[in-house]
Structure 1
Amino acid sequence: MAETTVAQTTKTGTAVAEVLAELAALEDPKARAVNEKHGDDHGVNLGKLRALAKRLKTQQDLARELWATGDTAARLVALLICRPKAFERDELDAMVRQARIPKVQDWLVNYVVKKSQHAEALRVGWFADPDPVVASAGWALTSERVVKKPDGLDLAGLLDIIEAQMKDAPDRLQWAMNNCLAQIGIEHPGHRARAIAIGERLEVLKDYPTPPNCTSPFAPIWITELVRRQDGK
């Protein structure tokens, strides 16, 4: 009898072991070396990982089981095959506290939490959390609101916090706060001059190595360049 593939077993529910076995077969030392430079502990090419998730399609129960393994590649698959609106608020809160790997946190926030009906409540709860990794998720959601739903946000107050705390914040939280600073400057002309001035004074990410043809994450450069593009100049 021919070996059953992961894709063929999705109708009856794929065993976690099968997915883990396929991920193990996709392990590439070169990919792992690249990922580890960014703090990610897996060696699966993301294109191949996405292809696996596409074959699995949406399976909420399997997603929960894959997340529970704690394996980074398995968790990334889980985030691609889950139903974002099926998670309860407490479940998402627990997941973000477990998501210590940058890519896992990034996908969790962007692919799942942002689509959840609990996103705003979680944003408020995470924003000032004492765990800087959790707080960074709150700031990521805040940046989303700065761009898409700024009504009700105290933008001047956010700039106050950034000005006081970003310089000495841990790396991931600092990055999230810097992103929020840039988005305020880009999207809200009335706060642009102050956002640029804060960036220039704090010099966060000023010397960040930026590849050719990419925009520096240094807020004054980032803001100026994106506004230039928006204005078509």
Structure 2
Amino acid sequence: MPETMVAEVMAELAALEDPKMRQANEKRGDDHGVNLSKLRAVAKKLKTQQELAVRLWATGDTAARLVALLICRPKAFGREELDTMLRQARAPKVHDWLVNYVVKKSPHAEELRVAWSADSDPVVASAGWALTSERVAKKPEGLDLSGLLDVIEAEMKDAPDRLQWAMNQALATIGIEHAEHRARALDIGERLEVLKDYPTPPNCTSPFAPTWINEIVRRKEG
């Protein structure tokens, strides 16, 4: 593949750069200034191109990496490759898209879930917990839900922000999807009070687990 293609994509992304958007994104730790709808349009035009995706990822540029995650073939990456990519993905949006758009579709997802959940790096561990939430909702067979609640109860309160957020999502998912564990999930949420005062826009559900669980259960049963 000619290097000019990488250069063309980088030039297109540079032309879409908006200083105000970069300023807003940087407050969340995302060092890029490209509107995500426009970025998705760039990716849609490129379609699936695994080799280009690998080269764009290698630039280290956040916007280029987001495009790479949209045009790659998730099943083409090996386990070690995905592990390396996750450890390189420090921008929250890149981390989020890598887990949700690529790793969740990978045949290595379960193996990585187990490994990452136990990792000493809280950002890596947060990816493991995100994969755990997915499994709690879609394929809970074989998971020790009581054991997961034990870990959440013991560790979530003092966990760093991104890991805390991912553990809280797992807590809410267990409470929503598994009625037999709902009372305990609600109790843990009430006692730990994690994200209780999180600013929530009107018409949005609070991430505070008891509120989140009760609202989604009400909608499902209503």
Per the shorter chain, which TM-score range?
over 0.9
From 133, 151, 154, give the equivalent of 2:141. 151
Unaligned runs of 5+ in 2: none
From 27, 45, 57, give the equivalent of 2:17. 27
Secondary structure (helix, strand or coil) at the match of 2:157 reads: helix
**Amino acid paired to 1:155:** L
What is the CA distance between 1:145 and its match in structure 2? 0.3
From 24, 32, 56, give the equivalent of 1:66. 56
Question: After TM superposition, where is structure 1 displaced by more than 3 Å over at least 4 residues in a row?
Answer: none
The whole-number CA distance in structure 2 between the counterparts of 1:39 and 1:188 is 34
The answer to whether the aligner puts 1:194 opposite 2:194 as a matched pair is no
What is the percentage of aligned positions where both structures have the same residue? 81
Q: TM-score, normalised by structure 2?
A: 0.98
What is the CA distance between 1:30 and its match in structure 2? 1.8
The whole-number CA distance in structure 1 between the counterparts of 2:32 and 2:156 is 29
The whole-number CA distance in structure 2 between the counterparts of 1:32 and 1:213 is 27
The answer for the alignment partner of 1:79 in structure 2 is 69
**Amino acid paired to 1:67:** W
The answer for the alignment partner of 1:101 in structure 2 is 91
How large is the RMSD of aligned CA atoms in angstroms? 1.2
Q: TM-score, normalised by structure 1?
A: 0.93
The answer to whether the aligner puts 1:48 opposite 2:38 as a matched pair is yes
What is the CA distance between 1:29 and its match in structure 2? 1.4
Does the aligned pair in 2 maintain the 1:13–1:62 contact within 8 Å?
A: no
The within-5 A match list for 1:131-210 is: 131-210=121-200
Secondary structure (helix, strand or coil) at the match of 2:156 reads: helix
Unaligned runs of 5+ in 1: 1-9
What is the CA distance between 1:14 and its match in structure 2? 5.7
**Amino acid paired to 2:113:** R
Secondary structure (helix, strand or coil) at the match of 2:48 reads: coil
Residues 188 and 14 from structure 1, CA distance in 2 versus in 1: closer, same or farther, beyond 3 angstroms? farther
Does the aligned pair in 2 maintain the 1:89–1:118 contact within 8 Å?
A: yes
The within-5 A match list for 1:7-26 is: 15-26=5-16
The answer for the alignment partner of 2:216 in structure 1 is 226
- Structure (1 or 2) with the larger CA radius of gyration: 1
Does the aligned pair in 2 maintain the 1:132–1:170 contact within 8 Å?
A: yes
The whole-number CA distance in structure 2 between the counterparts of 1:14 and 1:152 is 49
Does the aligned pair in 2 maintain the 1:203–1:218 contact within 8 Å?
A: yes
Does the aligned pair in 2 maintain the 1:14–1:62 contact within 8 Å?
A: no
Residues 183 and 190 from structure 1, CA distance in 2 versus in 1: closer, same or farther, beyond 3 angstroms? same
The whole-number CA distance in structure 2 between the counterparts of 1:31 and 1:57 is 25
